[in-house]
Chains A and B, each alone.
Chain A
Amino acid sequence: MADDSFHVSRHFLDRQAQKVSFIPFAEAGPAEDAAPGTMLAHRLFVTGGWRQELKQHIVSIADLELKTVPAQELVLSADKQVLTDFSHQGRVTAIQVKQWGDGNVMVVIGSANGGISRMRFKVPLAPGSALAEIQMVDMDSDTHEGCLTVWQQCHTDNVAAVDINTDKQQVLTAGIDGQLHLLPMQWEQGSETSTSHQTCYSDEGGYVSYYDAQWASIDTFVTASTTGGLQVWDIRKKSCRQSDLKWGMTGVSADIGKGTARQIHSIATHPSQPDKCASGGSNGTVAVWDMRFTSAPVAASTGKQNAGDVWQVQFDADYEQGPAQAPPVMFCTDDGLLCRANWAARAHAPLTYMQLNAQQRLSSTPEVSTLLSEASSINGFDVDGSEIVAVVEQECMCYIKRRSQTF
């Protein structure tokens, strides 16, 4: 565990979650029947996965009730409870949560059978609010069966990614079927099957399959696909720029010449630096790209022979702005690691591949620190400031609270 983690708790979920995302909720308030200075907070999160008992794919909203003493950086207790379950048609392949306005939260879910589902609710923002104050506004669901129904069946197979652009009120979806859709977010009853407002970038010949996609700015988004590297799309010009393929399929020079066994599985754009994008791929490799494509990606590799694939990457916003060329990146791997790659140590190094010594353990390298180590794959995680929630193949979730570096 990294030194700046002061609380790690593990909770059995009783469902194998593939994706997880925090749901915004009110800040902590004073805890009743507790010592002065003790605060009570609810950390809501949504997971998508498989429930063995019911033999169903399921989307769950759960709460982690935290009793903390902020002054002492102490977490007294963390109790998990599942608030609600929705059965879901097909494997959950993507989840995106976005908040806008005054507590409006939208959750969009992508499915392995090509469907997109959504739900919207209003969360309280006043500190110390109770869970009962959450209002479900609307959702695509069959209320009798407790099943999320499909809002848009816009892909023919695996939905690789969904991402919400709150400025444009559009949902970006990318599929393994080679299609990219921009769906309007407006909630119009009776418009479930309407596709008239969709904007679609379609590859009819099947010569592209998308692995991930994410908005980079109001008008641009990034994709990773079978084409290799990254593609930056501008919806104003309807144009696409492709990264230089001499950098290989993953942007990691060690992967060049290793064929199609090396792929990008996940990308993440930086929330405030629209030119930065992180990617995670096969064999534990992570890269940070400058999307102007003026220089090769700065990259890290676990260096291990059979390192696990990186299933998700995210920029760590909770860091001190330093001279590093790339912000720190967090990533989770198939061999059960949740790591943080910090490039600050290499601030003055050229933007080339930094190969770590193959003999070195991941955790002992100065650039990559391990936040969590599990016996099985860490399927996904989400970061919110100094808090992290991660879901593990072994039907459990982990909550990590770190010392904030920025506040």
Chain B
Amino acid sequence: MADSLDLGAFPASASNKLDIQWGVGREILLVDVGSAETEESALGCAQWDEPSSSQRQVAYDTMKLYRALHTQALQDHDKAARLQSILEYSQEITSVLQAACSRPSAQDEGLQTVKEDCCAWELLQLFYILAPRLEGFVTQDLVLWMKTHNALLSTRETCLQEALYEVCAEAEEQEAAPQTVSGYWQVFQRLVLVGWVDDARDLLFSHSELHAPEEQLSRFDKSASSELLEQVDALLRCMPQVQPMHGQAMDDLSFLNPDDYTPAREQWQLECVKLLENPRLWDECRQTAPDTAEALRVTLSVMSGDREDISNIAASWLELLLGMLLYGLPTKAATRHAIPLIITQCLSTRAEAEAEVPPPAGLSLPIIEELLPAVSETDTARVLSAVSQLSLWFKAHMPDILIATPQGKSVLSSSLEHEGGDVSEKLTLAYAHSLMGYPTTWHVAAAYLAWCPCHGAEAMQQLLWQLPMKGDSRLANQLLQQCQLYGLPQLAVALCRQMGVHHWQSGRTAAALTWFIRGHDESRASQAAAPLTHQIEAMLADTTTGFQAMPALANLEGLLNSLASPSGADENAVPLPQQAKVPSSVQRRGALGFLQGFLKLQQAMQDVQSAQDQSQLQKGASAVRDMVMVLIGRKIAPQRTWLPLLFHTIPVMESTHPPVFSHTDTQRLLSRLQEATVWLPNNSQNEQQHQLVAIVRLALVRSVAQAHLTAFPPALPAQA
């Protein structure tokens, strides 16, 4: 059972209700719901395991690689090409991890996690990609891997780099011969054992015997100890090293290819044995420097392959493993087929010795104890079990490597019976979940969710919906872009509504309309535009001052112009006469349609008022007629505005010749007038309204007559 996590305290009143909800990602929202009397509620939020700076850096830099690999996978049908892509991907990921590990960041708590990920990643890469591909020896790769991650792979007591540093520091501090410092020879032997030849030679070179004054060397023959030291150093210098697999491309002459390595190492070990069997040197050395003699003898014994000495010197099972691979076993033991057995043997040997002293928890060594055997056998099920303590980043990216083997592919792509999806998707989802709740990494989470075929869409909806937009139009645009990209139209509508309401609440009509229109939310758009509609109605109702333009409406012209026509014809619309020209953009109902039409009517009225000649007047009047027929004829305008609208149109109606309103138009308007006034109470309070009706009716009748006369000019009686 997992340990519980303390997320902090949230003050809540004992008399109130506490509402708890999952937030986005690793977040819990707590609401202290106030009682009806106090009406005070408080909101709290608890987050945990927030990605640190270095973890975010890794997340950013690997996202692009992940996306490219998976996009490539859709196109790669050739197995070799696929494996090549995976190899390049894993190498690029390694570079990203190493760069993040080397970044100086003292206060970054996540750096340790990144280092652990890097350590495990290199191991996976070696056994799942490089070893099957190149079929060489893994010895040198393991030497370099252990050197890179020594601090992680050891306890403080067994850390070789730490021990080397301490010996050097102590020698410097004491100003004594280094070989007299406690631990000097032990560290030297361990350095040789794990194959850190350069460090071993540097340490050996600090031996005081190799720095005897020149006059001393000229007066006496070289001492046996210095001769031995030099010969050991010479042997170390020419120690055969097999080419590491991850550096196959490197043209480094100091490494041998696998074919040359085996005979070279046998020859080299014979020379070690030869030196070991030189009694003169050893006897003389024992007399003058017994410690040096004994330490060098053990070292040479290790180099010549003595398994007992190897086992005695090794401070951990990893050191034992490297000692055995470098010196104690035939070179072929380091092939991918043979090494699982060696690893198991080293682990069991060391486990017996350390049975009473379990390794400290929290270090990577216990993980590696499980991971290395599993990885070396390419046993994917065991690998998945072993990495349970590693980061979610690692678990999400690990399948990309494991899938390189047929067995790995079958394990990872097997569907989960009760959860849906496969193992790979489950791991990706968990990783994406860990990035969702933060403004810096939500977009990375979204990029990963796109590759989750079973649950990705649902999680994406949750992510995009729960991100706090707080009126941030830039973020809103980004979220809408994601909706468009992943086909989430309903969510897009909801996000537009959220933004629209935000602006509406703040009294920003134009911004609110922008978002409502974008979200096809005509109902709210009409509601938001209602104050303007009321202003227009108030202006129209004032019949004493004539038609007044509404300057605010001009600011909305762009928005109203951008209204798309509804798809298909409006079945409920009153069909217009064929000859009537209607601007295609004014086909909406509701407040927006009214505003759209009224804006055009306003422009046409202004054109009529500013007309310089008859032609301009006719043109303007014709536009006024078009809009009147749209607003009233098609019932776009609210019914209560028909009467005042017609009243304000009378001057235009009567100032043009030939009349712009046809006989049919006027008949339709008369019928609309009848509809608008049929329920008008006949009392003294509505006297003014009734007067208006009479004026408008009279004007319309005159217009009918005029239109009729224009259409059918009376034939003048022949002059008698």
Residues of A that sit less than 8 Å from B by CB: 12, 14, 16, 18, 50, 52-53, 91, 112, 156-158, 176-178, 203, 205-209, 225-229, 245, 248-249, 257-263, 265, 282, 306, 308-309, 311, 334, 375-377, 393-396
Contacts and interface: CB of A to CB of B under 8 A. Distances in A.
A205 B509 contact: yes
B484 to A, nearest CB: 6
A80 to B, nearest CB: 12
Given A249-B558, A377-B443, A395-B56, A52 B508 contact: no
B437 to A, nearest CB: 11
Interface string B527-562: 000011000000000000000000010011111011
B153 to A, nearest CB: 27
B103 A260 contact: no
Given A52-B50, A375-B67, A259 B563 contact: yes
A52 B56 CA distance: 10
Given A207-B509, A228-B562, A375-B60, A334 B477 contact: yes
B273 interface: no
Contacts of A376: 60, 63, 443-444
A227 B440 contact: no
B514 A207 contact: no
Residue of A53, A156, A227, A394 most packed against chain B (CB within 10 A): A394
Contacts of B555: 203, 207-208, 226-227
Nearest to B100: A12
A52 B515 contact: no
Residue of A52, A248, A309 most packed against chain B (CB within 10 A): A52
Contacts of A395: 56-57, 60, 440
A50 B470 CA distance: 15
Q: Interface residues of A: mostly helix, strand, loop or mixed?
A: loop
9 contacts: A52-B56, A52-B439, A91-B472, A158-B473, A226-B559, A228-B558, A229-B558, A377-B478, A395-B56
B218 interface: no
A311 B564 CA distance: 26
A206 B507 contact: yes
B517 interface: yes
B563 A311 contact: no
A12 B99 CA distance: 11
Nearest to B504: A206
Given A156-B506, A209-B503, A12 B477 contact: no
B438 A311 contact: no
A207 B481 contact: no
A395 B57 CA distance: 8
Q: Which 4 A-B pairs have the closest CB atoms?
A: A228-B558, A375-B64, A394-B60, A226-B510
A370 B485 CA distance: 22
Contact of B511 (A18, A226, A258): A226
Contact of B509 (A18, A206, A394): A206
B564 A259 contact: yes
Given A259-B518, A306-B485, 18 more contacts: A176-B473, A205-B532, A206-B509, A206-B511, A206-B512, A226-B559, A227-B559, A258-B562, A259-B562, A261-B518, A311-B474, A334-B477, A376-B60, A376-B443, A376-B444, A377-B478, A395-B57, A395-B440
B514 A263 contact: yes
B672 to A, nearest CB: 30
Contacts, number: 141
Contact of A207 (B63, B506, B510): B510
A52 B438 contact: yes
Nearest to A112: B472
Nearest to A12: B57
B511 to A, nearest CB: 4
A306 B514 contact: no
Q: Interface residues of B: mostly helix, strand, loop or mixed?
A: helix
A308 B481 contact: yes
Contact of A260 (B440, B447, B484, B562): B562
Interface in B103-147: 103
B627 to A, nearest CB: 17
A130 B439 CA distance: 36
B601 to A, nearest CB: 17
A206 B530 CA distance: 13
B44 interface: no
A276 to B, nearest CB: 22
Nearest to A393: B443
B514 A226 contact: yes
A245 B599 CA distance: 14
Nearest to A14: B53
A245 B56 contact: no
Contacts of A156: 506
B303 to A, nearest CB: 43
Contacts of B440: 16, 50, 52, 395
Given A207-B510, A259-B518, A158 B60 contact: no
Residue of A16, A156, A259, A311 most packed against chain B (CB within 10 A): A259
Given A176-B511, A227-B557, A260 B518 contact: yes
Contact of A158 (B444, B447, B471): B471
A289 to B, nearest CB: 15
Contact of A306 (B447, B481, B503): B481
Given A306-B485, A308-B481, A396-B60, A207 B558 contact: no
A166 B531 CA distance: 41
Nearest to A396: B60
Contacts of A177: 506, 508
Contacts of A208: 510, 555
A260 B508 contact: no
A39 to B, nearest CB: 26
Nearest to A208: B555
Contacts of B503: 176, 209
A226 B512 CA distance: 10
Residue of B57, B477, B510 most packed against chain A (CB within 10 A): B510
Contacts of A265: 474, 477
B478 A334 contact: yes
B552 A205 contact: yes
Residue of B61, B506, B511 most packed against chain A (CB within 10 A): B511
A246 to B, nearest CB: 9
A157 B557 contact: no
A272 to B, nearest CB: 30
Nearest to B516: A260
Contact of B508 (A50, A209, A227, A258): A209
Contact of A50 (B439, B474, B518): B439
B439 A16 contact: yes
A176 B60 contact: no
A308 to B, nearest CB: 7
Nearest to B563: A259
A286 to B, nearest CB: 16
Contacts of A18: 474
B92 to A, nearest CB: 13
B195 to A, nearest CB: 34
A245 B557 contact: yes
Contacts of B474: 18, 265, 311
A22 B61 CA distance: 26
Contact of B477 (A14, A282, A306): A282
Nearest to A259: B562
A390 B510 CA distance: 32
Contacts of B444: 376, 394
Given A334-B477, A395-B57, A395-B60, A260 B552 contact: no
A209 B510 contact: yes
Residue of B103, B508, B518, B556 most packed against chain A (CB within 10 A): B508
A309 B481 contact: yes
Nearest to B509: A206
Interface in B231-245: none
Nearest to A243: B558
A56 B64 CA distance: 27
A245 B559 CA distance: 10
A262 B514 CA distance: 10
B439 A206 contact: no
Nearest to B470: A112
A256 to B, nearest CB: 8
